[in-house]
Structure 1
Amino acid sequence: MEYDFLRNTITGTAFARFSMDHEALGFWLSEELGDNAAKHVEICQTIERLQSSQLTDWRMIGKALSIELDHEQVRVFANNIEDNEDNDGTELDESMSFYDGESEAFCGLEDFYAVLVNWREFLDE
């Protein structure tokens, strides 16, 4: 999983750009977490509780994206994520599939914790 943290040269707004299949993580960091220090602390403390087995799982519902954590992995997903059916209820042909890298992403809990630390450091620069 590769990523960059950048700033808009005009507005100064920070945003995260992640590699293919992990784009939803970048959207979540940029749009849902942003520079909210209290939310950042809450999530880091939650990860520590998951790692010490004080907690089994955790979920935060966002405006557009939500996040689920357990003791091994993190899932970021669009709140309106749909299954692989079209609007009339028929299933897609097997040769067709949706690209959902912008709607859903997974990563390991330790990797996610490192991303959060790096994001906060970037914001504090």
Structure 2
Amino acid sequence: MEYEFRRNGLDGSVMARFSMEHEVMGRWFGEELGDKPTAAATVLKAISAIQAGELREWRVTGREFSLELDEEQARVYANVLGYDNQDELDDGMSLYDAELEASCGLEDLEAALKSWQAFLVETR
């Protein structure tokens, strides 16, 4: 999983770009974690608890995206995937799940979160 973090020079907003199959992770980092170091710390704490066997799973629902952790993986997905009335959509208008959902190993997410925290500190 490859990623790159940037800060917008005009307004100071943060953004993350992840490799093609993990694009939604970049949106989750930028939109849900944002420039709040405590948000990443909360997820890192949950990862540690899962790795220590204190938790079996953990979930946080954000404005646009949610994160689910279990003993094997992390999954980020757009909240719109919970839309129950997809049957009502016209042909060709179905939601494209591949751009709205991605999974990775806990260790990979942990490394990315630590890099994100370092990026936030370095670019303040």
TM tier, shorter chain? Answer: 0.7 to 0.9
TM-score by length of 1: 0.85
RMSD: 2.2
Q: How does 1:1-125 map to 2 (within 5 A)?
A: 1-81=1-81, 82=83, 86-88=87-89, 99-125=96-122
| Alignment coverage as a number of residue pairs | 120
- SS of match in other structure, 2:68: strand
- SS of match in other structure, 1:9: coil
Q: Read off the aligned partner of 1:87 and give its amino acid letter.
A: E
C-alpha distance in structure 2 between counterparts of 1:10 and 1:37, whole Å: 21
Contact 1:7/1:15, CA 8 A, preserved across alignment: yes
Bigger proportion of residues as helix: 2
Q: Which consecutive residues of structure 1, in runs of 5 or more, have no partner in the other structure?
A: none
TM-score by length of 2: 0.86
C-alpha distance in structure 1 between counterparts of 2:22 and 2:98, whole Å: 6
- SS of match in other structure, 1:47: helix
Contact 1:17/1:23, CA 8 A, preserved across alignment: yes
C-alpha distance in structure 2 between counterparts of 1:8 and 1:41, whole Å: 23
- By how many angstroms is 1:86 displaced? 4.9
- By how many angstroms is 1:38 displaced? 2.1
Runs of 4+ in structure 1 off by over 3 angstroms are none
Question: 1:78-125 CA deviation, whole Å, 9 max, x = no partner?
Answer: 111158x5535x8x79xxx96433310100000000000000000100
C-alpha distance in structure 2 between counterparts of 1:2 and 1:101, whole Å: 17
C-alpha distance in structure 2 between counterparts of 1:101 and 1:20, whole Å: 10
Q: Which consecutive residues of structure 2, in runs of 5 or more, have no partner in the other structure?
A: none
